[in-house]
Copies of this chain bind each other. A is one copy, B any other.
């Protein structure tokens, strides 16, 4: 019985995997909008209609690619972050952010597929939301762990004049009241129920979006002729954004 899988089932699973890999390769050269079932079939040495034995439609194949991309990114972030000492919170943050950038640079079209402009005519089904949250979960855990350990500072707002800061002038702007309900939900799900305050959650989200802004700028060409050593600049920006959350570098 071979673990409950017949030979046919095994070969089917294998071919399904090969098709998605061919599709991923094509994505890497042509981009999502240009991904075509016929080209995938061609690369597989099959007739185009044969693909329909494995995927119900082109959108179905796209959905699979999206889910796999989210999972690949999530795994890369998890791996990078897992290699850092648990109590080195800024280093965990830096490692996670660096993993995002590196994965994106290595898989630009997959990154564009999940964080770039939506594919025209494609509507993501619900089964993509789980994998999509995977990398966010890592960030949430870093912040939650840091907060639990008392390692999240309340960063003081910069002073207003003269070039020297006004020390102890209180925290940053507080999160808007309309954010409270979202914060409550996120506090339990993403931030592991660590009691992280609304303000920290809000700044963490902003910092998180900021990281992707940096990666997208680099990947989509906005830093062309502007920043030369993009890796070093990214590292610096990530440290600054970490400081916004209150992760001391």
Contact = CB atoms under 8 A, between A and B. Distances in A.
A163 B170 CA distance: 11
Contacts of A118: 31, 112, 220-221
Most buried by B among A156, A181, A212: A156
A164 interface: yes
A150 B173 contact: no
Contact of A156 (B31, B156, B212, B226): B156
B34 A248 contact: no
B160 A156 contact: no
B233 A179 contact: yes
Contacts of A172: 239-240, 243
B216 A212 contact: yes
Contacts of A160: 151, 153, 248
A249 interface: yes
A244 interface: yes
Contacts of A235: 176
A228 B180 CA distance: 10
B240 A244 contact: yes
Nearest to A163: B154
Contacts of A162: 150, 153
A9 interface: no
A92 to B, nearest CB: 14
Interface in A180-235: 181-182, 186, 202-203, 205-207, 209-214, 216-217, 220-222, 225-229, 232-233, 235
A236 interface: yes
A232 B209 CA distance: 15
Contacts of A214: 206, 209-210, 213
A173 B167 CA distance: 17
A175 interface: yes
A30 interface: yes
A173 B237 CA distance: 9
B165 A220 contact: no
A157 interface: yes
